[in-house]
Amino acid sequence: MKFLFIGLLALSFFTLRAHEGGHGDDKSSDRVWTFDQNKQLDGSLLLIKEGKAFVETAFQIVPIEITSLSLKDQKYIDQKMSEIHQLNASTYTNSVGGQDKMALLGVSLFLVFGAFLLFVLGKRKKLYPIVHVTVWAITLSAPVIFLTSCNEDDEEQIVMETTEGEVVTSAISDPENIDLAFAPYTATVDTRWDDSYFYVESQGIPAHQMMVGITAWIAQVPVPHDYTGDNAWAIPLNPEYSDDPVSITDNLRRGAVAIATNGIPIFNPINASGLVSKDLGELDEFGGHSGRGDDYHYHTAPLHLASSATLPIAYAFDGYAIYGSTEPDGGTMESLDEFHGHTDEDGLFHYHGTDSYPFIFEKMRGIVALEGSAPETQIEPQPVAKAFRGDPHGINSDNLIITDLIANNAGNGYELFYTSNGTNGSVDYSWDDNDLYTFVFNDIDGKATTETFQR
């Protein structure tokens, strides 16, 4: 009996010790965590507190800022938090607070000590049968009382200290997540980022056909532009809702308002004259044309880039994604709000591109910095595409339509074909390594004119 009691007493002691602050032995969440873009750590999620995920490895506990984790890991944390929300809701009435647990701990220790006294007194008075039963009951009940009170609520409440809003915000701004949208176009697009912006570098020339189908033409043609380095497109990270949203009707007549995932800028569907470009016949089959700087850009949503419903087709310069005409999960597009977008079930806002006006957005949901005077404003920062030809060569535009644009064999120029009043004309242009551009205009009257421009 003596040895049995001592064993039970020891069991009670070690049981209590094992639950003083544990809950870190569940290895069901073992995974490889990715953070700070390329660092990795193998361990299990211990708890989440004050914007940090505490990961337990074989040797230590490592705190990691949630905003530095990969999108996949952030979604994992978001899922865990949702599960904890549900668990807390279902077990709230049965939970035991920290002060109550300390009281139960005291009761358990008191019972163990009382059992010891009973054992000693019972031995002296030779009340073995009664003492045996009492000691057994008290000694066994002590750890049971404490174990019953010791559940996962402490850990759940700690996890709750990290709000879902923090995870949602970081998911929008995760540059690795943004980078996924541009990944299909790495042949012509380069990306990078810092703490403030996600940068998109390109030459402004898409892989698809350009200019075909345009009927209102200002004799501008697509040429490469150096959107790299300090002249790259910049998507702001950590976007914030604007209290005074900028409307495309009253502003943004200059410059781009978004960047497509293939590296082509997107301009306001309303042109500098206050008219919708598409309605005038100014755009090709992909919703684009070349502006005064011979810079190719879109004026509608690039829906042809919606190869995967889960990826955006563009990013607005307020930092929010633009998806195609389906939801990110492939489902039918939900109703759109005044901005031409909405928030999803996780609280993430995004726009949707459509094939009718306003195409990408009516107003900008996020904060943007404007340069200029309304309506001739543009978003800053923004790359520069300078015109280098002055007034373009005069071309007869009566009943005009552009029929083709073909790259030359050297890869340093194009030949554009058009008809006007049923007569064929063309523009053959190319450039050299010194940025000297040569244009040969073959007009419908049979006259050929050569012009050169130093860029």
Q: Which pLDDT score, from 0 to 100, does residue 15 have? A: 43
Residues 286 and 305 in one domain: yes
In a domain, 393, yes or no: no
Asked which of 326, 355, 385 is the last residue of a domain, the reply is 385
Of 263, 271, 274, the closest CA to residue 291 belongs to: 271
Residues 297 and 357 in one domain: yes
Of 179, 217, 221, 180, the closest CA to residue 200 belongs to: 179
Of 274, 288, 272, 270, the closest CA to residue 357 belongs to: 270
Residues 256 and 294 in one domain: yes
Give pLDDT tens digits along the chain (455 positions): 554 444 544 444 444 444 333 343 444 458 888 887 667 788 888 778 767 888 877 656 788 888 788 877 887 887 777 666 555 555 444 444 444 555 555 655 655 556 555 555 665 555 555 555 555 555 555 555 545 444 444 433 333 333 444 445 556 678 998 999 999 999 999 999 999 999 999 999 999 999 999 999 999 999 999 999 999 999 999 999 999 999 999 999 999 999 999 999 999 999 989 999 999 999 999 999 999 999 999 999 999 998 766 799 999 999 999 999 899 888 899 999 999 999 987 788 999 999 999 999 999 999 999 999 999 999 999 999 989 998 889 999 999 999 999 999 999 999 999 999 999 999 999 999 999 999 999 999 999 999 999 99
Residues 158 and 194 in one domain: no
In a domain, 351, yes or no: yes
Of 251, 235, 245, the closest CA to residue 341 belongs to: 245
Residues 7 and 97 in one domain: yes
Containing 400, the helix (H) or strand (E) segment is strand 400-407
Q: Specify the pairing of strand 256-260 against strand 314-316.
A: antiparallel
Q: Which pLDDT score, from 0 to 100, does residue 65 have? A: 83
Q: Which pLDDT score, from 0 to 100, does residue 48 have? A: 80
Beta strands in 197-291 (DSSP E): 197-201, 233-236, 256-260, 265-267, 288-290
Q: How many domains does the chain have?
A: 3
What CA–CA distance (Å, rounded) separates 319 from 323? 13
Q: Residue 411 is part of which domain span?
A: 400-454
What CA–CA distance (Å, rounded) separates 211 from 429? 15
Judged by phi (left if over 0) then psi (alpha if -120 to 50, else beta), residue 422 lies in: left
Distances from the Cα of 219 to the Cα of 253, 292, 300, angstroms: 21, 9, 20
Give the bridge partners for 63, in sequence order: 54
Using DSSP's 3-state secondary structure scheme, residue 319 falls into coil
Residues 286 and 408 in one domain: no
Residues 242 and 312 in one domain: yes
Report residue 323 as tokens: 């998806």
Q: Specify the pairing of strand 314-316 against strand 265-267.
A: unpaired
In contact, 205 and 392? CB cutoff 8 Å: no
Q: Specify the pairing of strand 400-407 against strand 190-193.
A: unpaired
Q: Specify the residue for token string 């990013």.
A: 315
Residues 132 and 102 in one domain: yes
